[in-house]
Amino acid sequence: MNGTLEGLGMEFKEVVGRRRSIRYFLPWRPVERDKVQTILEAARLASRAGNADFARAIVVDRDDLAQDDLKSLTLPVNAGMIQMAPIHIYWWGDLKAFARDMPPRAKEQVDIGVLNISHGWTHKFINEVAYPQVVQAFSSDDVLCAKVTGCESGIAISQALLAAVDEGLGTMLCTYPEEPARQVFGVPDHWTALWVQFVGYPAESWEAGGQRPRPPLGELFHEGRYGKPFRGTEGAAARLRAEKMIQDPAPLPWRKEEVRAVSRMLGLPEE
């Protein structure tokens, strides 16, 4: 994955390795529109079930928001970032996406050779079997609908995060208040609030203290059945370190001093 403009020309693994939540942004440095477009394109091109439009977004330039609107979108947990980050991407999930989009998109994919006879796909199957089942399932099972919408949107959001990192930007996800956001942005009722992605140039170093602690691979992932940890090899781990997917873990030794200095620069509580 290579960036454009001021992108850093990183390989995919390094982009994954460098991604971490950035919580301090340079409030005065705008983000180039091309970079915002790149982030949205990465989301648009993400994998998605039924090729349906689950992930939706409202992109906002912080300085274009009316003060009252900015205030209504502010929560105690986002109050710092909402003011610091020049670009906000309010991510929503379209709860009607699958039922609405799957049938025509599936037929389109049959026509263009994506879904094929070899795998059992025909217009007849879509019209007479898949469509009624999909509509019925999604209109009668709110949990299923929320689960699929959240998962599919999350895939797109994840690519948006990686694209921001690839463009040399800082980014993070945070919560936002749904009802006030509905009022401010006028979104359809069937959109559900997910996350706001803050985007800007980092005021902290890109390391942001180091790669976040994660349990070992085998604790999270299983092989064959639950309880049998997936076992990686030291050789593969060494290669991933060399390729910068696995990086120095937090805390880096100078992190506390960095946080204090950045907080002081921005007038945030230091201690």
Partner 1 sequence: MAADIENTQTVQSWLAGLEDQSGVSREEGLQRLAILTEFCTLVEKEPDQIIDECLREVEGGKKIRAKGRRLYAAKISEFEQRVEGGAGEKRQKGNYIRSFLIHNGVLLQTSPLL
In the bound state with partner 1, the residue whose beta carbon lies nearer, of 49 and 65, is: 65
In the bound state with partner 1, the residue whose beta carbon lies nearer, of 12 and 28, is: 28
CB of 77 to partner 1, least distance (A): 6
Q: How many other C-beta atoms can be found within 10 angstroms of the C-beta atom of residue 184?
A: 20
Rounded to whole angstroms, the Cα distance separating 91 from 218 reads: 32
Total interface residues for partner 1 by CB under 8 A: 18
CB of 197 to partner 1, least distance (A): 18
Residue choice 114, 129, 144, 268 for contact with partner 1 (CB under 8 A)? 268
In the bound state with partner 1, the residue whose beta carbon lies nearer, of 159 and 171, is: 171
Rounded to whole angstroms, the Cα distance separating 89 from 56 reads: 10
Q: Is residue 86 at the binding interface for partner 1, with CB under 8 A as the rule?
A: no
CA 51 to chain centre: 18
Q: Is residue 219 at the binding interface for partner 1, with CB under 8 A as the rule?
A: no
Rounded to whole angstroms, the Cα distance separating 200 from 249 reads: 23
**Location of structure tokens 């007038």:** 267
Q: Is residue 261 at the binding interface for partner 1, with CB under 8 A as the rule?
A: no
CB of 80 to partner 1, least distance (A): 4
Residue choice 15, 39, 46, 84 for contact with partner 1 (CB under 8 A)? 84
CB of 81 to partner 1, least distance (A): 8
Cβ-based neighbours of 70, under 8 Å, separated by 6 or more? 62, 82, 83
CB of 79 to partner 1, least distance (A): 4
| Edge-to-edge order in the sheet of strand 87-94 | 55-61, 87-94, 191-200, 170-174
**Location of structure tokens 């950035």:** 22
Q: Is residue 252 at the binding interface for partner 1, with CB under 8 A as the rule?
A: no
Among the residue ranges 30-38, 53-61, 70-78, 105-113, the one whose residues contact partner 1 (CB under 8 A)? 70-78
Q: How far apart are the first and last CA of the chain?
A: 39
DSSP summary character for residue 130: I
CB of 261 to partner 1, least distance (A): 13
Residue 240 main-chain phi, psi, to 5 deg? -70, -30
Residue choice 5, 77, 114, 237 for contact with partner 1 (CB under 8 A)? 77
Rounded to whole angstroms, the Cα distance separating 76 from 63 reads: 20
Beta bridge mates, 193 = 92
In the bound state with partner 1, the residue whose beta carbon lies nearer, of 110 and 266, is: 266
Beta bridge mates, 88 = 60, 198
Positions in 20-59 near partner 1 (CB under 8 A): 27-28
Q: Is residue 150 at the binding interface for partner 1, with CB under 8 A as the rule?
A: no
Q: What is the binding site for partner 1 (CB under 8 A)?
A: 27-28, 76-81, 83-84, 256, 260, 266-271
